[in-house]
Amino acid sequence: MFKDFFKYYKSKEPPPDFGAVIDFKKPDYSKVRNILPDVNEDEGVAQGLKPIKEWKIYGIISKPGLIFIENPFTTLGQQYWITRCVRDYSSKPNKTNLDLHNLFTKHENWWDECSNSAERARTLLPKLRWATLGYHHNWDTKEYSENAKDSMPEDMMKLTRCLAKVASFHDFKAESAIVNYYRMNSTLSGHTDHSEVDCEAPLFSVSFGQTAIFLIGGLLREDPADAIFIRSGDIVIMSKSSRLRYHGVPRILAADSTPWESESSKDITQMKEKFSDWDRIKSYICESRVNMNVRQVLRPGQTSLDNNSP
């Protein structure tokens, strides 16, 4: 049962044995297989990605439609997307879990407030849990609405369009996203993502920072689950018969590598010029994980939730 696997990997005492966790850095070909990209040319490749011919793409044999792309980002790409998640996607017009608490005036936002005072940062940094973008996911009704919608960031749309093409989904359109923010003791319990009108369209899950144990189960809570290591830059695509599987994050582990760290001084200079607060963002990501969970809400050709055609 999903919850037994969740409890097992969450446990601190006794600690779990991670031996059965699927590790795409050491692929076990009795469980996983290679997938070839559907496009090879880099035309239209989104911000911060390596050339497609260098990507390693896998499927899990027992979970058709579940696609794993091992970190296809350059170092600068990692820095770019981490900065977007931490500094930008946590700001207005996006909604966050902090909105209900009236912590900021109209002109303040979480990241600026954390940057302004070390004292404020200590209490505020761990409090951010999620931000919603585009069609805002309503956590109570689990429904989207035309009355709770903002525009999606162009770069996120372009990134997922590119990932979709590589994975043979040629008409994907990013219309909603949840950015999840995890500290080292955070978890995300088992759930399915079924609020979208179009549950045929794939869901893209792009993670940065510390490592997660990601659990992917079946269509029912009673089904068993596989555990996967997800490291910084790794991408999970849930599609076809895996689109509605139970999934969750029972544990965050300290990263075994830091692919967001530049070694070349040229990169460091370029990054400092582009993002003046990279040093602070780097300290945040050294004890956090961020996950962009991007969905299509409408059916292809449908223009609004109020209009059910075609």
Query: Which residues bind to ligand SIN, rule: CB under 6 A?
Result: 178, 180, 188, 205, 207, 212, 214, 230, 247, 249, 291, 293
3-class DSSP state of 106:
coil
* Shortest distance (Å) from residue 191 CB to ligand SIN: 7
Identify the bridge partners of residue 66 per DSSP, sorted by sequence position: 238
Which residue minimizes CB distance to ligand SIN?
Answer: 291
Positive or negative, the CA dihedral 64, 250, 21, 131 is: positive
98-107: long-range pairs with CB below 8 Å, 24+: 98/127, 98/128, 103/127
Cis peptide before 153 (omega within 30 of 0): no
**Whose Cβ is closer to ligand SIN: residue 85's or residue 298's?**
85
First to last CA, the chain: 39
Query: 264, 251, 214: which is closest to 236 by C-alpha?
Result: 214
Joined together, the tokens standing for residue 113 give 């407030």
* Residue (86 or 178) nearer to ligand SIN, CB: 178
**Of residues 57 and 178, the one with the C-beta less far from ligand SIN:** 178
Q: Which is nearer to ligand SIN, 136 or 262 (CB)?
A: 136
3-state SS assignment for residue 11: coil
Residue 109 vs 207, nearer CB to ligand SIN: 207
> Shortest Cβ distance from residue 114 to ligand SIN (Å)?
21
- Alpha carbon 40 to its chain centroid, in Å, reads 24
Which residue, 249 or 285, is less far from ligand SIN as judged by CB? 249
Question: 38 with 168: CB under 8 angstroms?
Answer: yes
Q: How is residue 297 written in tokens?
A: 């809400």
Residue 109 C-alpha from the chain's centroid: 22
Report the nearest approach of ligand SIN to the CB of residue 203 (Å). Answer: 8
Q: Which is nearer to ligand SIN, 242 or 291 (CB)?
A: 291
Q: Which is nearer to ligand SIN, 207 or 239 (CB)?
A: 207
Least Å distance, CB 43 to ligand SIN, is 29
- Tokens 């946590």 belong to 90
Identify which of 290, 218, 225, 184 has the alpha carbon closest to the alpha carbon of residue 21.
Answer: 225
CB of 290 to ligand SIN, least distance (A): 9
Pick from 97, 74, 113: which is nearest to 182 by CA?
Answer: 97
Q: Which is nearer to ligand SIN, 239 or 293 (CB)?
A: 293
Q: What are phi and psi of 250, to 5 degrees?
A: -80, -15
Strand-pairing partners, residue 32, are 60
Query: Least separation, in Å, of the C-beta of 310 and ligand SIN?
Result: 29
Q: How far is the CB of 127 from ligand SIN (least distance, A)?
A: 18
- Smallest distance, Å, CB 164 to ligand SIN? 18
Q: Least separation, in Å, of the C-beta of 264 and ligand SIN?
A: 30
